[in-house]
């Protein structure tokens, strides 16, 4: 016998590591006793979460909510690293990142049994059999300067009007709202239904190339774009997010956000239950409360987004706005190629 009698093979190593993790899991039990619920979200969601959602939840359930506002990919990393010993109970992440989390088995489905309000959601906001849902729909439209453009644009095609030479701002493809513009361009070019138009990216780039003379700049920092729009150097921003544009308007900026007749898309805004996360009942209750009509009403007012609970009326004038579904899996797969193509075909 030449082999040693004891060898640390992969299986015994995994077993040992499992025992170790069990030991490390102790703090989460302590956390449970202290009645805390950790929500992993994005820093941009902090304001309304801390002003509306969290106080209401803490009051009703007598728990302390720890809001970790970072970014979608950071939340994903936290779940990957703590698999088997999660400390997050609820995650709010962008839809494309949710797809990765589902593939890695990090999420638990949201069911009507655990989250009763999920039964009232509008069609199109529940994804992959409830692995995640959209709690809000911040929609994209055409933001325009009211002094420079006295009549509101009604169609995405208005942006292509030659009279706006050098006056249109686009988001870069690094910004998700910039990707959505590609789909709208393809739709305008082909007239295909939005679901098919999304897949015809050649038509999207062909149409965007027609816009080149009108493009003033393509931004990565939205603050700069809105400055130019408010100063009147730019007349329109194609793909302006409601939560940004309308928040600036409400602070007195001379701008307005038009909802084009072709319909539009909403920005990613998913919420999900972490598989094996502490306090599963409280986690489900948190999501249920966020989807409840009372909280949806308050949060949509504060963020200028559309509600996803079908029982909540959308903001005035937006009841007919169609929100088309985005094929996020396709976006995740192709985005790097699209960015590289954008560089070549839309550069100065």
Partner 1 sequence: MKAGRPAFDPVLLLAAPALAYMAVVFALPVLVLILRSFGTPTGPSITAYVSFLSDGFNWRVIGNTLRIAALTSLLCLALGYPTAVALARSKGAVQALLLVAIILPLSVGVIVKAFAWQIVLRRDGVVAAFMVMTGIWDQPQLLLFTESGLVIGAANVFLPFMILPIYSVLKLVDPNLQDAAATLGAPPLYRFFKLALPMAMPGIISGTAIVFSLAASMYVIPTLLIGDRFQTLATLTARAFLLMRNEQLGSTTATVLLVLAVSIVMLSSWAVKAKGDSR
Does position 172 bind partner 1 by CB under 8 A? yes
Q: Report the nearest approach of partner 1 to the CB of residue 274 (Å).
A: 23
Does position 334 bind partner 1 by CB under 8 A? no
Q: Report the nearest approach of partner 1 to the CB of residue 62 (Å).
A: 41
Query: In this complex, which beta carbon is closest to partner 1, that of residue 202 or of residue 220?
Result: 220
Q: Site for partner 1 (CB under 8 A): which residue of 182, 184, 228, 246?
A: 228
Does position 217 bind partner 1 by CB under 8 A? yes
Question: Are the CB atoms for 103 and 275 separated by under 8 Å?
Answer: no
Tell me whether strands 270-274 and 132-134 are parallel, antiparallel or unpaired: antiparallel
Does position 221 bind partner 1 by CB under 8 A? yes
Question: Are the CB atoms for 140 and 241 separated by under 8 Å?
Answer: yes
Q: Report the nearest approach of partner 1 to the CB of residue 227 (Å).
A: 7
Query: In this complex, which beta carbon is closest to partner 1, that of residue 168 or of residue 272?
Result: 168
Stretch that binds partner 1, among 48-56, 214-222, 273-281, 317-325 (CB under 8 A): 214-222
Q: How far apart are CA 330 and CA 348, in angstroms?
A: 28
Binding mask 174-193 for partner 1 (x = CB under 8 A): x-------------------
Residues 229-288 that bind partner 1 (CB under 8 A): 231-233
Q: Report the nearest approach of partner 1 to the CB of residue 190 (Å).
A: 25
Q: Report the nearest approach of partner 1 to the CB of residue 209 (Å).
A: 12
Report the interface residues with partner 1, using CB under 8 A.
166, 172-174, 215-221, 224, 227-228, 231-233, 336, 339, 343-344, 346-348
């Amino acid at each position: 016998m030449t082999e040693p009698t004891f060898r640390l093979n992969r299986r015994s190593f995994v077993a040992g590591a499992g025992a170790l993790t069990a030991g490390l899991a102790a703090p989460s039990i302590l956390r449970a006793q202290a009645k805390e619920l950790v929500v992993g979200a994005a820093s941009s969601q902090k304001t309304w979460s801390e002003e509306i959602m969290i106080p209401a939840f803490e009051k009703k359930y007598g728990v302390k909510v720890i809001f970790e506002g970072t970014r979608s990919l950071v939340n994903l990393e936290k779940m990957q690293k703590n698999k088997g010993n999660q400390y997050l109970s609820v995650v709010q992440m962008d839809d494309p990142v949710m797809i990765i989390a589902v593939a890695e088995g990090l999420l638990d489905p949201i069911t009507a049994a655990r989250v009763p309000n999920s039964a009232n959601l509008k069609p199109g906001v529940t994804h992959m059999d409830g692995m995640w849902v959209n709690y809000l729909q911040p929609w994209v439209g055409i933001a325009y300067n009211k002094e420079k453009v006295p009549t509101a644009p009604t169609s995405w095609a208005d942006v292509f009007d030659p009279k706006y030479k050098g006056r249109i701002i686009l988001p870069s493809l690094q910004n998700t709202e910039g990707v959505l513009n590609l789909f709208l361009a393809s739709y305008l070019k082909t007239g295909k239904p939005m679901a098919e138009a999304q897949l015809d990216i050649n038509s999207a780039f062909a149409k965007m190339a027609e816009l080149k003379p009108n493009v003033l700049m393509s931004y990565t920092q939205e603050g700069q774009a809105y400055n130019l729009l408010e100063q009147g150097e730019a007349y329109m921003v194609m793909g302006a997010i409601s939560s940004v544009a309308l928040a600036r308007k409400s602070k007195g900026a001379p701008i307005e956000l038009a909802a084009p007749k072709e319909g539009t898309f909403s920005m990613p805004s998913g919420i999900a239950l972490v598989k094996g996360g502490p306090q599963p009942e409280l986690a489900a209750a948190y999501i249920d409360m966020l989807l409840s009509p009372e909280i949806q009403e308050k949060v949509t007012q504060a963020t200028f987004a559309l509600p996803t609970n079908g029982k909540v009326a959308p903001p005035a004038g937006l009841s007919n706005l169609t929100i088309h579904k985005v094929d996020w899996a396709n976006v995740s797969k192709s985005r790097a190629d699209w960015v590289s193509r954008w560089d070549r075909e839309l550069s100065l």
